[in-house]
Structure 1
Amino acid sequence: MARTVGSNGPKTMEAIRKAGLRLIYTQGYEAMSLRRLAAEVGIQAGSLYNHITTKQDLLFDLIKVHMDELLERLDQALDGIADPEDRLQAFIAFHVGYHIARKREVFICYSELRSLESKNYDIVVGLRQQYERKLIGILDDGVASGRFTVADTTVAAYGILAMLTGVCTWFKPAGRLSKEEVTGIYTGMVRHGLVRTVDAPAVAEAT
């Protein structure tokens, strides 16, 4: 394959990331070879080492960049929103939209977590816990203000995240439902399970 990316370091690294993401998604981390990666990018295999040291470095880079961006974008989505219900709605909309748009990154982040070396694994797990704590904090605030009713906010957060993230496995942009419609359905289900309803006034007994 002819060289296609030139000698520009940042452009070459970006091409390596894109090709690595595609190959790991389709073949799996263990099956992907650096020789194949170099061929996909259009450089000599030895030239890869000017940008990455090992295949493990590439996997860690892909997952960490994904997690860093996920946390940064979430903070932007929640910025300026104080009400717990509004924050919950913003969280759901962000999570669904982000995960639909980055299906490959999300898949690799979950399926190849086991392939990370111990030090890299601990870093990524720490980032995932930061993200989880964002939702736990929203639920805690809702409970404290009397807006949400939930026995254990940590367990509830894990359940919500598992449900929302599952959208990656079945959603199709050209499918029956739009991203906005799916987000609305998920928001309704979560709110139905969490938001405290106002008790109806008691009916006076007949005398």
Structure 2
Amino acid sequence: MARIAGSSGPRTEEAIRRAGLSLIATHGYAAMSLRQLAAEVGIQQGSLYNYFRNKQEFLFDLIRGHMLDLHAALDAALLAEGTGEERLTRFTEFHVAYHVERPQEVFICYSELRSLEPDNLAAVVAMRRDYERKLGDILDHGCATGEFRLADTRMATLAILAMLSGICTWYKPEGRLSTTALQEIFTGMVLALARGGEPAAAAVAPRRRGALRAGVG
């Protein structure tokens, strides 16, 4: 969120961001008012416009900021070189930890895509595609070296991301599994999927398989 000249500084900006995340995650974007946001931070509603022009820009800045942070953190975590299994393990461990630690941001990035205006939505979808591509590249490389056996790496990419990202909808920090335990469990499942190769012929009828392939983009 870019601060507009005349605003009171980064501490207020961060307070607005955290309050907005909490309110949207709890009540939804449509139900959150700027008056409510200002009251939560303890400032006048007019002061919000030192930080963003309108409610839509605020939502876009939240989601875009999350995606930028996600990409930067992934790039720092991934191995530049290594085997397919090593790189897929690093990706999975990163994705699990990042999403467990930021449940509100992740929830909003999925649930409030529908609230973005067309140009903003297109920008976020492009960033999501770039993230998917990074996982897809790992899977493609593993298939090329013979480490992985996947009939369709695009479908595998979407399946892995859906499985991993869904963690934040049910995971409780006070539950029986630590983040490290989750990383170990899900890394095992992801690697098993990547090594699995073609499914049994009877598992998916030919027509249904074609329909699935047509629907994954």
TM-score (norm 2): 0.85
Q: Is the 8 A contact 2:100 2:168 kept in 1?
A: yes
> What amino acid does structure 1 have at the position aligned with 2:138?
I
Please give the secondary structure, in 1, of the residue aligned with 2:73. helix
Larger radius of gyration: 1
1:205 alignment partner in structure 2: none
Q: Is the 8 A contact 2:150 2:196 kept in 1?
A: no
CA deviation after TM superposition for structure 1 residue 10, in Å: 1.8
> What amino acid does structure 1 have at the position aligned with 2:183?
T
- Structure 1 runs of 4+ off > 6 angstroms? none
1:24 alignment partner in structure 2: 24
Please give the secondary structure, in 1, of the residue aligned with 2:184. helix
Which whole-Å deviations, capped at 9, do the CAs of 1:65-93 have from their partners, x for residues lacking one?
00000000001110434211100000000
How many residues in Structure 1 have an aligned counterpart in Structure 2?
A: 191
Task: Say if 2:139 is the partner of 1:144.
Answer: no
1:4 alignment partner in structure 2: none
Please give the secondary structure, in 2, of the residue aligned with 1:189. helix
Distance (whole Å) between structure 2 residues aligned to residue 9 and residue 31 of structure 1: 27
Q: Is the 8 A contact 1:84 1:141 kept in 2?
A: yes
2:80 alignment partner in structure 1: 80
Distance (whole Å) between structure 2 residues aligned to residue 92 and residue 79 of structure 1: 12
1:153 alignment partner in structure 2: 153
When the two chains are superposed, the root-mean-square deviation of aligned CA atoms in Å is 1.3
Which whole-Å deviations, capped at 9, do the CAs of 1:99-128 have from their partners, x for residues lacking one?
000000000000000000001000000000
Please list, as runs of the form range in 1=range in 2, the aligned pairs for 1:108-123 lying within 5 A after superposition: 108-123=108-123
Distance (whole Å) between structure 1 residues aligned to residue 51 and residue 83 of structure 2: 45
1:99 alignment partner in structure 2: 99
Distance (whole Å) between structure 2 residues aligned to residue 107 and residue 184 of structure 1: 23
Q: Is the 8 A contact 2:139 2:153 kept in 1?
A: yes
Please give the secondary structure, in 2, of the residue aligned with 1:166. helix
Structure 2: gaps spanning 5 or more residues? 1-6, 198-217
Please give the secondary structure, in 1, of the residue aligned with 2:37. helix
CA deviation after TM superposition for structure 1 residue 51, in Å: 1.2
Which whole-Å deviations, capped at 9, do the CAs of 1:17-43 have from their partners, x for residues lacking one?
111111001010000000010111111
TM-score (norm 1): 0.89
Distance (whole Å) between structure 2 residues aligned to residue 196 and residue 33 of structure 1: 49
> What amino acid does structure 2 have at the position aligned with 1:101?
E
Q: Is the 8 A contact 1:147 1:196 kept in 2?
A: no
CA deviation after TM superposition for structure 1 residue 14, in Å: 1.2
Q: Is the 8 A contact 2:84 2:138 kept in 1?
A: yes
Task: Say if 2:57 is the partner of 1:57.
Answer: yes
1:89 alignment partner in structure 2: 89
Task: Say if 2:10 is the partner of 1:10.
Answer: yes
1:203 alignment partner in structure 2: none
Structure 1: gaps spanning 5 or more residues? 1-6, 198-207
Distance (whole Å) between structure 1 residues aligned to residue 193 and residue 79 of structure 2: 25
Q: Is the 8 A contact 1:13 1:51 kept in 2?
A: yes
Please list, as runs of the form range in 1=range in 2, the aligned pairs for 1:172-191 lying within 5 A after superposition: 172-191=172-191
% identity of equivalent residues: 58
1:48 alignment partner in structure 2: 48
